[in-house]
């Protein structure tokens, strides 16, 4: 009979995973000395271990150009967990990961460094006496995506255990291309080395709880799905707003802009999940098929210097959170002749049976009034028969607001009678907050996404044809803006909700932006 006090204090320490689908795995992080590894990836791996969700046989190899001793790399990651993890360091659990954590230095175009990396993983397999899954996380500047992919192919690591559940996988961070041509070229380079089921194009927004909950809200509640169409919905507004400026990333941001940085990936993913048809199952491919269909149904945008379906802007000096802030052009690294937008708003028309005639308004910008990411489904007004006379009836449009960040949750805007002897109405809000119902310490997006990649669930990752469908819509806008130069680039004060020109996008259809947050 087992003595209870002899049992390990944490199941992961006994080599057991609560998640039975996670096979023995070696994770290789390319760009291991970078910011994302310290802030997100390694803290996510630690928290998976704390939740007993790592496979019992788990190894982590950091790969980077800079030579770093294994012991030093471990110390750097110790500090990263202490500073960035959502939960404090549990030394006993972390030591289990830490003892199997090493660093491998080499160039991303260095075939010999990749060959020695392959030998290191082969030695891990030999030591374990069994095959292991190789999971390659490409967390580097996009300029070295292709050299990494090519060397994974030349070294044979990309084809390890192909045809089995232990087939190698590759996770690729955004940006996935700069336009349609470069996205197609990158897809072609990847598909020469990896089969599509091995590829996991990551967008961390899809790992957020409320984004995942969107499918449950739509398809798990019979009161919503019957209304989710052109008969009942007046418009859809999607906002991804940041109160921060470009900070010290001005040089990088000026080569990107709001359209590439936020609209093409995060925001278009929210559009796809909001507008897609019900999938035939929860199978990853069934869901991704429907996302691609709706992206392909979006009509080409009308592009004009003044007017049309697109507005761009750039923030000037202003006040954010009570403090004065500088303009975009004053930020470090911004060239004097910059034409880069820090705000973009689009009016989308989806040409299918469900959404014909329902405008989708999307916007994203920096130095906005507050940080807020949300999806607002605005329903049509009731017929003005009973509650339309005089000013005593304040009847708002029913709205379902799915808040992604901060204060994740769902709000329903309804109309109610004000208590009293006469009939007066006013809008009221019904709130559901994740923190209130489930507690505030919810898993980070990268925890869910890394786990899903390990177990082979691609639901929350972007397929190759999906990213090309998004770029097909966005690329003509980029080309139009490049041709226009400064013409049509509006200004907005930092701390506002964007340029006044964006109001026109909605007013032309009888709508107005709702106050987010």
- Sorted by sequence, the CB contacts under 8 Å of residue 408 that are 6+ apart come out as 208, 209, 210, 433, 434, 435, 442
CB-CB contact of 196 with 459 (8 Å): no
From the list 383, 426, 425, 410, the residue with the least C-alpha distance to 232 is 383
User: Which residue stretches of 220-312 are H helix?
Assistant: 250-253, 257-258, 268-275, 284-297
Q: Cα 481 vs. chain centroid, distance in angstroms?
A: 25
CB-CB contact of 55 with 100 (8 Å): no
CB-CB contact of 385 with 408 (8 Å): no
**Cα separation values, 68 from 104, 105, 147, 228, Å:** 8, 7, 22, 54
Strands 318-320 and 343-349: unpaired
User: What beta strand segments (E) does 56-181 contain?
Assistant: 58-64, 101-105, 133-138, 169-172
CB-CB contact of 357 with 276 (8 Å): no
CA distance 397 to 234: 9
CB-CB contact of 56 with 15 (8 Å): yes
Class of residue 39 by CB neighbours under 10 A (exposed 0-12, middle 13-18, buried 19+): middle
Angle between helix 42-50 and 445-455 (nearest 10): 80
CB-CB contact of 202 with 461 (8 Å): yes
Quick one: tokens of 211? Answer: 């984004």
Residues belonging to the active site: 266
CA distance 263 to 365: 9
């Amino acid at each position: 009979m087992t003595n209870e006090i002899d049992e390990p204090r944490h199941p992961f320490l006994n080599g057991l995973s609560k998640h039975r689908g996670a096979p023995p795995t070696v994770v290789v992080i390319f760009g291991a000395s970078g910011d994302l590894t310290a802030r997100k990836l390694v803290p996510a791996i630690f928290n998976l271990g704390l939740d007993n969700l790592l496979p019992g046989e788990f190894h982590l190899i950091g790969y980077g150009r800079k030579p770093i001793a294994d012991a030093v790399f471990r110390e750097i990651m110790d500090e990263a967990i202490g500073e960035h993890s959502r939960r404090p360091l549990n030394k006993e659990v972390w030591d289990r990961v830490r003892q199997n954590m090493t660093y491998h230095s080499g160039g991303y175009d260095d075939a010999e460094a990749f060959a020695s990396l392959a030998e290191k993983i082969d030695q891990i397999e030999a030591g374990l006496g069994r095959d292991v899954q190789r999971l390659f996380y490409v967390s580097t500047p996009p300029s070295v995506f292709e050299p990494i992919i090519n060397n994974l192919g030349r070294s044979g690591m990309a084809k390890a255990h192909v045809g089995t559940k232990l087939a190698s996988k590759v996770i690729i961070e955004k940006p996935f291309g700069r336009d349609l041509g470069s996205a197609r070229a990158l897809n072609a380079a990847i598909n020469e080395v990896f089969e599509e089921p091995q590829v996991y194009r990551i967008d961390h927004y899809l790992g957020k709880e409320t984004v995942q909950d969107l499918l449950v809200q739509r398809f798990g509640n019979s009161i919503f799905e019957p209304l989710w169409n052109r008969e009942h919905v007046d418009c859809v507004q999607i906002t991804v707003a940041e109160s921060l400026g470009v900070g010290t990333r001005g040089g990088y941001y000026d080569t990107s802009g709001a359209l590439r940085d936020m609209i093409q990936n995060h925001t278009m993913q929210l559009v796809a999940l909001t507008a897609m048809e019900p999938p035939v199952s929860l199978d990853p491919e069934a869901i991704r098929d429907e996302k691609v269909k709706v992206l392909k149904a979006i009509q080409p945008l009308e592009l004009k210097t003044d007017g049309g379906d697109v507005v761009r802007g750039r923030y000037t000096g202003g006040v954010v959170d009570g403090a004065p802030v500088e303009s975009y052009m004053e930020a470090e690294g911004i060239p004097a002749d910059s034409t880069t937008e820090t705000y973009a708003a689009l009016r989308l028309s989806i040409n299918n049976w469900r959404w014909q005639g329902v405008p989708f308004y999307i916007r994203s910008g920096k130095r906005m009034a507050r940080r807020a990411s949300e999806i607002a489904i605005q329903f049509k007004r009731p017929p003005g028969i009973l509650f339309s006379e005089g000013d005593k009836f304040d009847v708002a449009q029913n709205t379902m607001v799915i808040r992604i960040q901060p204060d994740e949750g769902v709000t329903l805007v309804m109309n109610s009678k004000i208590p009293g002897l006469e009939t007066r109405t006013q809008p009221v809000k019904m709130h559901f907050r994740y923190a209130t119902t489930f507690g505030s310490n919810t898993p980070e997006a990268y925890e869910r996404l890394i786990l899903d990649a390990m177990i082979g669930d691609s639901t929350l990752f972007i397929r190759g044809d999906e990213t090309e469908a998004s770029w097909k819509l966005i690329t003509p806008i980029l080309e139009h803006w490049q041709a226009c130069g400064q013409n049509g680039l509006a200004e907005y004060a930092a701390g506002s909700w964007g340029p006044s020109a964006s109001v026109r996008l909605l007013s032309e259809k009888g709508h107005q932006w709702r106050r987010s947050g």
